[in-house]
Amino acid sequence: MSEQPLNPSTEPGARDETAEAPAIDAAVNADAHADVNAAASTTEDTADVAVSGAEASDAEADAAARRAASFDRQRRLRQEPRFPGGPAADPAGSHHERRIRSFQPRRSRVTVGQQDALERLWPQWGFDIDGLSVLDLDQMFGGLPVVLEIGFGMGEATAQMAADDPATGILAVDVHTPGQGNLLRLADLAGSTNVRVANGDAIILLREMLKPESLDGLRVYFPDPWPKVRHHKRRLIQPDFLDLVSGRMKPGAVIHCATDWEPYAEQMLEVLTAHPRFENTRPDGGYAPRPAFRPLTRFEGQGLDKGHVVHDLLFARV
């Protein structure tokens, strides 16, 4: 009888499982180490991502804090008067409201002469539109008829009209500090005492600080045309504005507008003509020639040199 092998797997052609076991164990161990390394790598990557996320979050928080601090500094600057005792930067700050405005406050260089006029004359001839009290125009102007002018630029035309007609008081409104100082300076040089300068939003002045039927006229010369279509809502001459001013103007008082922007002139004519409380002083229902009392302004002269056509509109309150 032949001898049987001790390990059948060692027969020719049979698999040597004992020999393969170390290789299998090594492969398993290698896979296990790879899994461990991958897990460790994933953990490290996750930690890195968490750190990066935290750093990004901290950076965003720092940026937000810087923006908030910058906004607060700008707000304080807007509220601080450039000249102590002079026009305030935000006189109706307590009346903050979400309303589309027709103007943008501008800050630019104030000359020595303008600064001197603001420091000397503002307490006497200037005031802030704070919306906190109702004005007594009779007392302010000594009983003179009063015309409100909204937006006077550097004040040359306003000062000229005041000097030419001392029997009419001019309540001039603007937010441009150099222009306010220049108007006070020019009025002082001419010896005019019939000008008062108001600093702030004319809408708040009309709505909260003027009595009904207290104005003998309204002048709006060369307001911002806001030429882009999406900005047309910012134009001053709108039905709501006319509703407001009609209640502050005496019957027969004239609103006088002038512009060198043709599309805005067309809108002004359309809106004024459609309003039930205003009537065109022109029998033909069109534009009026420039009245002799309105001086040719520097701005207007520049427009004429460029070929612009200036339109005047005069409508009486009925």
Residues assigned a catalytic role: 224
Q: How far is the C-alpha of 199 from the C-alpha of 171, rounded, in Å? A: 11
Identify the bridge partners of residue 32 per DSSP, sorted by sequence position.
none
Beta strands 169-174 and 195-199: pairing type?
parallel
Residue from 50, 112, 48 nearest 83 by CA: 112
CA distances, 265 to each of 2, 52, 114, 275 (Å):
125, 59, 33, 16
What are the φ/ψ torsions at residue 288 (nearest 5 degrees)? Answer: -105, 150
CA nearest 85: which of 56, 123, 50, 53?
A: 123
- What is the Cα–Cα distance from 285 to 212, expressed in whole angstroms? 28
Structural tokens at position 249: 């103007």
- Following DSSP, what letter does each residue of 229-278 receive, concatenated? GGGGGG-S-SHHHHHHHHHHEEEEEEEEEEES-HHHHHHHHHHHHH-TTE
Q: How far is CA 18 from the centre of its chain?
A: 87
- End-to-end Cα, the chain, rounded Å: 141
Name the token pair of 232.
Answer: 């047309």
Amino acid at the residue 196? R
Mark residue 285 as left, alpha or beta (left: phi above 0; alpha: psi -120 to 50; beta: remaining): left
Residue with tokens 């006070």: 184
